[in-house]
Chains A and B, each alone.
Chain A
Amino acid sequence: MELNIGERRKRVLDESVDVHFKDIRKSFGDAQVLKGINLEIRRGEFFSLLGPSGCGKTTLLRILAGFEFADSGAVLLRGQDVAPLAPNQRSVNTVFQNYALFPHMTVSENVAFGLKMRKVPAAQIKDKVMSALEMVEIAAFADRRPAQLSGGQRQRVALARAIVNEPQVLLLDEPLSALDRKLRVNLQVELMRLQARLGLTFIFVTHDQEEALTMSDRIAVMNKGVIEQLGGVQEMYERPSNAYVAKFLGSSNLLEGTVTAPNTVKTILGELEVRDHLPAVGKDVLLSIRPEKIQLSKAQNTAQNTVAVSVTDDIYQGATGAYRVKTTIGFELEVNTMNSGVTDSDYEVGDQLYAHLPANLMVVLQGNSRLDPDALEGK
């Protein structure tokens, strides 16, 4: 079954749960790494754990693989508590960050290792290894040793070595972070195809938000041992629930304000109309708007939600343009434009423009309504 990526997005996932983390807590010495993680991962899902280094995402993965033990809580793999199982008894396989290939074995010996340990008959091993190698397009290198391969090729071997065992869940610990960008993007596409074809549950750990957005069905944004938000990719991007997620997943302009009337918030940019659900009049809110949703123009098209700005930074990025603009009282906004060539979108530093913040695209954030730099840093 060959799914293209568009079809993959639309596929309907099984509702059954493959992995269930129940109130997982873990400390290393005084440092609390996981502070009660509850998470259900569905069968056949491409699930990403996204967060900065030290947020506990890798520890969570290692608890599932059996290399760490939770201080409290339970991990259920297809309904079975894995606590009494040693790593080699769990039907999960890991693609390690540094690949951890066995240097003294050839590529095919590496891939055959798991099957050999499970005493699969030799004839079957050969076939399975070959088909796994073909699946990741590395069959031509079957007799080489890892040292003779490039980073991308090693990554493929590590992948083949894991999927050949047909595990219930495949764990990927930042497998692409050591590769250069071009290769990474290619491998992202291949990983998605592979996942759709195998129908395997993937748990993907990454600190790269773009990678997580590209590949995942659902994402859990983690920070300091807690899950900040959990949801589908589109939901997470369009409706970040708090300032941390809004800043970590993509970038956002954050505005402090007070509700002055239904659908109206008074901010540093003046009174703005907001369509999102607002708290009662008189309450403080924190608004978020994505840089690409702000529209810049030389002429003032509408008075509503529009502020006069001047361009302070003009960053040409090829396909997109990134601008920093400043209002008359010095408040800075981030704005991204598409280099479509159709609209006049090539502005220069010093240009006097109008920035329009569409009322329906501003999101009311949960949690702290004040801009707290510590919260944004994840402290």
Chain B
Amino acid sequence: MMTKKPKLEAAGGELLTPRQLLTRAAATAGAGIVWIALFLVLPMLILFGYSFLTRDELGNAVFPLTIDNYVRFAGWDVLGYDAAYLIIVGRTILVSLVTTFFCVLIAYPLAFFIAAHKPQVRDRLMIFVIVPSWVNLVIRTYAWMIMFNPSSPITQLAVSLGIVKPNEGLYPSDFAVYLGMVNVFLPFIVLPLYSAVERIDWSQLEAAQDLYATKTQAFFQVLVPQTLPGLTAGIILTAIPALGMFVVPDLLGGAKVALIGNSIAQQFGSSRDYPFGAAISFLVMGLTLLVLWLYARRVGEKGMRDLL
């Protein structure tokens, strides 16, 4: 009779039994998995549980379990139907998309501009993109506020050009909000885009022209498609965090316009309504995951790996 041998699998140039494979996987990835389980998955589960609780008069989360928080978000309240939160979500998505649009508009030529330089110069130029993002967000935002207040030279210039009325600042305004947002998110889109542009073999541009393409055709049909993975990564890295951004719109927008980030912060802060805050958080997260899932389905496993 033949003895049954364990099935061997090739891994990193070695043949291993399934048990050995599992042991090694646990030794290498185990710590990471534990970390994520303790500090990401567990808190999320707690928060998810909260979203089904009820707020009592003192602001504590108590039983019974209910889906009222989600119903309330959809607009049905004790006072009747009011789509306030859906409008906030819509507005947040709009802000996120507009921010992303302007980031792409600036990042695209910037990435090509940087990639067109010699390697040493490129690195130096990239520093100008990256280093500002190391400055604390709140400090940066306050800096914009100072620059845009009614007495600043920049505002004075805007006044003399007739862009704003005298005695008004450039902030609070939508302009200030978008400027602040683009300032925050630009590096997130420039970096992946630049790394895509940098990898392009420029002789393809000559090859395209050799094959009867004009310079414009060569750019749009040969270069641009190759930047799409980087562009998509940049858009995702910008649009999703922009959904949750509340410091910049709050400070530069003058706290006049409610966005989803502010709303969540308010539930966990002044309103002391943890269950409702948790519900909003989960709905926004669900929305984000839905978009990512749709994207993943389109590009497949390899596309997602490129993205990461």
A interface with B by C-beta (< 8 Å): 65-67, 86-89, 92-94, 96, 98, 100-104, 113-114, 117-118, 161, 165
Contacts and interface: CB of A to CB of B under 8 A. Distances in A.
Interface stretch (B10-18, B130-138, B201-209): B201-209
Interface in B169-211: 201, 203-204, 206-211
Looking at chain B, what size class is its interface with the partner chain? 10 to 19
B226 interface: yes
Interface of B: 201, 203-204, 206-214, 217, 221-222, 225-226
Contacts of B221: 113
A94 B207 contact: yes
Given A101-B207, A104-B226, 9 more contacts: A67-B206, A67-B209, A96-B203, A96-B206, A100-B201, A100-B203, A100-B206, A100-B207, A103-B226
Contacts of B225: 104
Nearest to B209: A87
B210 A117 contact: no
Contacts of B209: 66-67, 86-88
A114 B211 contact: yes
A117 B225 CA distance: 16
B300 to A, nearest CB: 14
15 contacts: A87-B206, A88-B212, A88-B214, A89-B212, A93-B211, A94-B206, A94-B207, A96-B207, A101-B207, A102-B207, A113-B208, A114-B212, A117-B217, A118-B212, A161-B211
What are the 5 tightest A-B residue pairs by CB atom distance, in nearest-first order?
A: A114-B211, A100-B207, A117-B212, A87-B209, A100-B203
Given A103-B226, A104-B225, A113 B203 contact: no
Contacts, number: 58
A311 B212 CA distance: 59
Most chain-A Cβ atoms within 10 A of its Cβ — which of B209, B222, B226? B209
Contact of B213 (A67, A98, A104, A117): A117
Contact of A98 (B203, B210, B217): B203
A315 B192 CA distance: 55
A66 B213 CA distance: 13
Which applies to chain B's interface (DSSP): helix, strand, loop or mixed? helix
A101 B201 CA distance: 9
Most chain-A Cβ atoms within 10 A of its Cβ — which of B208, B211, B217, B222? B211
Contacts of A117: 208, 211-213, 217
Contacts of A92: 210
Most chain-A Cβ atoms within 10 A of its Cβ — which of B207, B214, B221? B207
A98 B206 CA distance: 12
Most chain-A Cβ atoms within 10 A of its Cβ — which of B204, B214, B226? B204
B72 to A, nearest CB: 47
B151 to A, nearest CB: 52
Nearest to B213: A117
B212 A165 contact: yes
A88 B211 CA distance: 6
A98 B212 contact: no
B70 to A, nearest CB: 43
Contact of A88 (B204, B213, B226): B213
B217 A102 contact: no
A68 to B, nearest CB: 10
A98 B222 CA distance: 16
A290 to B, nearest CB: 39
Nearest to A67: B206
B207 to A, nearest CB: 4
Contacts of A93: 210-211
Nearest to B226: A104
Contacts of A67: 206, 209
Contact of A94 (B201, B210, B213, B222): B210
Contacts of B222: 102
Contacts of B213: 88, 113, 117
Contacts of A100: 201, 203-204, 206-207
Contact of A165 (B203, B206, B211, B217): B211
A98 B201 contact: yes
Contacts of A103: 201, 226
B302 to A, nearest CB: 11
B205 to A, nearest CB: 9
A88 B225 CA distance: 20
Nearest to B227: A104
Nearest to B207: A100
B203 A88 contact: no
A63 B121 CA distance: 29
Contacts of B226: 103-104
Contact of B210 (A65, A101, A104): A65
